[in-house]
């Protein structure tokens, strides 16, 4: 049905890139989480005890982001502190703006603590 629907708007579906993912809220099922656009989608419980979809930073993207930050700090550690911190704040703001979604505070805090550790080192 999806290719027909997209055809109405002169769009087409690339079959090499298209994948159906089973995503069930029952933990015993196989597809209880998946990754998309840098986030890991998984089922969890709300504070009221209802099952909801939770997002967190994908572990792969988290590691890549920290390694890119480490490379950046190694290349720029000879710069003046004021200029370095101005750029660092801009980088952190960009990270927070993209990954700052509901239920992702733990990953954002973990990223901040790791960035501080790398910067101090």
| Among 57, 80, 101, residue at a domain's last position | 57
Domain that holds residue 52: 2-57
State residue 31's pLDDT score: 63
Q: What is the pTM of this model?
A: 0.79
CB-CB neighbours of 40 under 10 Å: 19
Do 73 and 94 share a structural domain? yes
The whole-number average pLDDT for the span 32-50 is: 88
| Among 10, 33, 57, residue at a domain's last position | 57
Q: Which residues pair with 55 in a beta bridge?
A: 41
> What gap in Å lies between CA 40 and CA 33, rounded to an integer?
7
Do 53 and 66 share a structural domain? no
- Phi then psi for residue 41, to 5 deg, are -95, 130
State residue 83's pLDDT score: 93
pLDDT per position as a tens digit, 5-38: 889 999 988 888 887 777 777 766 666 788 889 9
pLDDT per position as a tens digit, 77-89: 899 999 999 999 9
State residue 45's pLDDT score: 86
> What gap in Å lies between CA 20 and CA 78, rounded to an integer?
48
Do 104 and 71 share a structural domain? yes
Report whether 71 contacts 21 (CB < 8 A).
no
Do 43 and 73 share a structural domain? no
Both tokens of 90, joined, read: 């801009």
State residue 15's pLDDT score: 83
The whole-number average pLDDT for the span 39-65 is: 91
Do 73 and 44 share a structural domain? no
Residues near 66 by beta carbon (within 8 Å), at least 6 away in sequence? 111, 114, 115, 118
Both tokens of 56, joined, read: 């967190």
The structural domain count of the chain equals: 2
């Amino acid at each position: 049905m999806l290719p027909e629907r997209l055809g109405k708007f002169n769009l087409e579906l690339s079959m090499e890139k298209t994948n159906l993912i089973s995503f069930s809220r029952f933990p015993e099922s196989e597809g209880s989480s998946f990754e998309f656009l840098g986030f890991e989608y998984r089922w969890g419980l709300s504070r009221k005890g209802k099952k909801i979809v939770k997002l967190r930073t994908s572990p792969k993207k988290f590691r890549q982001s920290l390694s890119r930050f480490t490379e950046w700090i190694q290349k720029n550690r000879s710069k003046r502190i004021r200029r370095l911190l101005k750029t660092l704040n801009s980088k952190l703001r960009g990270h927070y703006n993209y990954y700052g979604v509901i239920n992702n505070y733990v990953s954002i805090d973990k990223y901040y603590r790791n960035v501080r550790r790398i910067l101090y080192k």
